[in-house]
Amino acid sequence: MAALSRPDRVTVRGPLPGEGVAIAALWRELWDAHEAWGGYPGTRDLRVYAEVARRLDDDARVRGGHPILGRHVHLVADLSGAACGQVEGWFERHGIDPLTPFTCEVRSLVVTERARHLGAGRALLEALAGSARTLSAGAPCVLAAEVLEPNPAQAFYERVGYSPVAYGARLESAACRFASRAGAHALSTRIAVPHDALAIARLETTLAARRRLAGDLRFDRPHALEATVVGAIAAHLGAPAVAEGDPVTLVALDETGEVRAAASFAVQALQPPFVPMRRALLGRFAVDPARPCAPLVGGLVALACRLALSRAAPMLELTDLSAPGTELHAAAIATGAVPWSRVVTRLA
């Protein structure tokens, strides 16, 4: 009788020196897929991937086979002694409330096609959850992944227990459809200044409540308005920018000059293996629920598009939106943006 062959089994471990080329190839596979789904393009320059491979090998030597290095986690799926997948995690806490769970941000999850039916993706995420629990020393921790809307991994994340808590949209910086109109909802927009701090603090309580209602535990809960919080916001708004890409707060004002909405704007430089370019982001939308949402959000997006163009960022991402069908999401789409991604989370 012929011996029955055992199916290959995937194991998960830290990266090892000498497999940088294999892991860099996984990264290229991921970037190529993202580009096909409408994401930012990756480089085709083989020299860039050779440098990525060298850095990965240097990093693996420092790790000494361990997946955790500081706040960064790097895990590799191993099939018959060769890397067949990988995932990274960045560990941090958003906010100042000690009761806010830690967050482990899931990045660059990729499994090569030959290992996708062997449970490699699930094994990588479970191992990442274990590393996150180690870093949190038993404190609550949330795993969070941003997934592009066309990515077929949406169904995979749902199967392994992740749920959407926030949504993103994207538009060309030169193509915003919003135009301010005179009348009952006339408004103006500008970069926030220190005397806006009290209004912004009030609005941020609505932002915190919206996040909690959506099941997003990554950020502080709503809190009573305190003078120390207002003072900290005023100090932040009055601090000089250290670098060009530092976030700034944008505000929308009604016809009386009162602040009715706020959002955070930033420009980031994409680094290799992406094709070098700038991406602009507008998030932390905090909108007065007593006012119509569309003109406030539209005004903020229009200002952000102008700022993005002035900083040579061709695309603007709208992040931290509520679910499709809600007023905030509809207001974002009305500016010309299209659904771009969603953030999915689960407890580690």
DSSP state letters, 30-46: HHHHHHHTT-PPBP--H
E strands, 151-246, where? Answer: 163-172, 188-191
pLDDT at 184 (0 to 100): 47
Residue 2 lies in a domain: no
Same domain, 78 and 188: no
Same domain, 114 and 251: no
Same domain, 21 and 142: yes
Same domain, 132 and 272: no
Residue 54 lies in a domain: yes
Same domain, 308 and 184: yes
pLDDT at 116 (0 to 100): 86
Q: Is 89 helix (H, G, I), strand (E, B) or coil?
A: strand
Structural domain boundaries enclosing 333: 169-343
pLDDT at 243 (0 to 100): 66
Write the DSSP symbol of residue 194: G
Same domain, 233 and 107: no
Regions of the chain where pLDDT drops below 50: 1-6, 182-184
pLDDT at 240 (0 to 100): 80
CA 159 to chain centre: 21
Rounded to whole angstroms, what are the CA distances from 274 to 190, 280, 319? 32, 15, 20
Rounded to whole angstroms, what are the CA distances from 7 to 77, 118, 341? 16, 9, 35
Same domain, 38 and 56: yes
Which of these three, 130, 161, 192, is where a domain ends?
161
- d(Cα 97, Cα 138) in Å, to the nearest integer? 17
- Closest by CA to 132, choosing from 119, 145, 120, is 145
- d(Cα 21, Cα 301) in Å, to the nearest integer? 41
Same domain, 272 and 323: yes
The answer for 113, left when phi > 0, alpha when psi is -120 to 50, beta otherwise, is: alpha
pLDDT at 244 (0 to 100): 67
pLDDT at 99 (0 to 100): 92
Same domain, 205 and 332: yes
pLDDT at 78 (0 to 100): 97
Describe the crossing of helices 20-36 and 46-63 by its angle, rounded to 10 degrees: 130
Residue 76 lies in a domain: yes
Same domain, 76 and 16: yes
Is residue 244 within 8 Å of residue 267, measured between CB atoms? yes
Same domain, 93 and 175: no
Here the tokens at position 305 are 């598009």
pLDDT at 169 (0 to 100): 98
DSSP 277-293: EEEEEEEEEEE-TTS-H
pLDDT at 1 (0 to 100): 38
Q: Domain with 259 in it: what CATH number? A: 3.40.630.30
Is residue 87 within 8 Å of residue 124, measured between CB atoms? yes
The count of domains in the chain is: 2
- d(Cα 113, Cα 109) in Å, to the nearest integer? 13
Residue 74 lies in a domain: yes
